[in-house]
Amino acid sequence: MNDVKNIPITDIADFESVDVVEVLVKVGDEVAIEQPLVTIESEKAMIDYPSPLAGVVQKVIVQDGDKVKEGDTLITLKVSADTSAATSKDKVTEQQVEINSNATHPINNQLKSNSPANNERTSHSSTAYTSPGTHKYARELGVNLNEIHGTGRNQRIAQEDIQLYVREQLQNSSVRQNKFNKSLDFSEYGGTTATELTKIQKWTADNMLNAWQSIPHVTHFDQADVTQLETHRKQLANDLEAKQIKLTPLVFVAKALVATLKKYPQFNSSLDTASETLIYKDFFHIGIAVDTPHGLFVPVLRDVDKKSLEQIAVELVEMSTLAKQRKLTPKHMGGASMTISSLGNLGGQAFTPIINPPEVAILGLSKIILHESVTAEDIKLRKLLPLSLSYDHRVINGADAARFCTHLKSVLEDVWKLIL
């Protein structure tokens, strides 16, 4: 006989509650195991929460915009007979995904696995009780966990505890004055409208502030002559138009950046301040900052060194679309070698992009500039791409940055280096 079961939300990591962005099923729908039931949002990510069982939806408990906490029922499900053996599973098997990014970026935790190997545990380098992801988050901010009182179960330290600790330290600093923290009131000057920040926007703001205050930023500016590259790109774009593939300059820059990271591996590293070591990465994943109405997201293109220009172009469109539709999940983000922040055709000749920790550099692109090159023989119109390379001065010095940009320019200016 078929059973009717409540399907609760479980294992929402360190979050007290999460928002229900969208309910994906309705009464009468047949759902399969692992089929998404709702899309939920935390400060770090949007995740489609899957069903642990198959069956027919009897009742939908939650609505768009609701807040849910651990154990709250999402739906009631009439469980199919052939999946009754699976009812002993009280929780959905999930995995913890590590994300940085910084965002531009990035997310540190997805819903975590229930297997003993992935349960919350005590850090090896601290007596504080926390999860590995939270411990890594503290290391990135240079925070000593032994100085923090955990508010979670069994005094477990959550990321919110770390953020509160950092805020308190900043407020106690002479640099942070209380007058800057009071609420703003412009009513005496005229009408105003207040719009609450989304969780992604709040997290991005905190991450950018922490990155700017904890990393000594230096920005190196340069320009690459992409006249030849643009000619070749337009020729390829015409060939790919029939496949409805958009080939942008960003695709070429991603490939050129990988070639330069191979030449200068210190840029493809992360500084572990806890162990005072520099961790070099053997992979080449490129983060792409995507501006959306909901906030800044940094999806990551994996193994760019192993993909063709066409493959990268397709994946770039897919990732941008997912970001704008608020459908990115932790598997799409984090673990980047380096991030590209492109202003595209918006304008400007240079800017200082903020590093997305734990990366040690970020590349900013501005609008291509048309420049007249005058010689004794003739006048040629050249296309110059402004480059803004921000780097962590603890890891990279000015000479390194200059050499990096020089090599990046040489690749962008010689299209054959990208093809071969």
Per-residue DSSP letter, 53: S
Token pair for residue 46? Answer: 């949007």
Residue type, 308: S
Measured CA to CA, the distance from residue 101 to residue 356 in angstroms comes to 5
The pLDDT tens digits of the residues spanning 148-157 come to 888 876 677 8
Measured CA to CA, the distance from residue 226 to residue 85 in angstroms comes to 61
Sequence-separated contacts (24+) of 265-268 with Cβ below 8 Å: 266/360, 266/395, 266/396, 266/400, 267/337, 267/338, 267/360, 267/361, 267/391, 267/396, 267/400, 267/404, 268/337, 268/338
Q: In this model, does residue 82 exceed pLDDT 70?
A: no
CB 357 within 8 A of CB 184: no
Kindly indicate the confidence band of residue 97, based on its pLDDT and cuts at 50, 70 and 90: very low
Q: Which residues contact 63 (CB under 8 A, 6 or more apart)?
A: 20, 23
Measured CA to CA, the distance from residue 306 to residue 146 in angstroms comes to 43
Output the pLDDT for position 106.
33
Measured CA to CA, the distance from residue 89 to residue 320 in angstroms comes to 35
393 carries an active-site annotation: yes
Higher pLDDT, 122 or 417: 417
Measured CA to CA, the distance from residue 202 to residue 44 in angstroms comes to 10
Q: In this model, does residue 351 exceed pLDDT 90?
A: yes
Beta bridge partners of 386: 223
Token pair for residue 97? Answer: 């995904």
Output the pLDDT for position 156.
73
pTM assigned to the model: 0.62
Length of the chain: 420
> Which residues belong to CATH 2.40.50.100 in the chain?
4-88
Strands 338-342 vs 300-301: parallel, antiparallel or unpaired: unpaired
Would you call the peptide bond into 358 cis, given omega within 30 degrees of 0 as the criterion?
A: yes
**Most confident by average pLDDT, 117-126, 180-189, 313-322, 369-378:** 313-322
Measured CA to CA, the distance from residue 188 to residue 166 in angstroms comes to 34
Assign domain 216-419 to its CATH architecture. Answer: 2-Layer Sandwich (3.30)
Output the pLDDT for position 331.
84
> Which residues belong to CATH 3.30.559.10 in the chain?
216-419
What does the pLDDT average to over 50-69?
Answer: 91
Active-site residue among 217, 220, 294, 393? 393
| Sign of the four-CA dihedral 241, 290, 284, 232 | positive
What does the pLDDT average to over 183-193?
Answer: 89
Q: What is the mean pLDDT of the chain?
A: 81
Measured CA to CA, the distance from residue 200 to residue 103 in angstroms comes to 10
What does the pLDDT average to over 198-223?
Answer: 89
Angle at which helices 249-263 and 309-324 cross, to 10°: 110
CATH class label, 4-88 = mainly beta
How much of the chain exceeds pLDDT 90, in percent?
Answer: 45
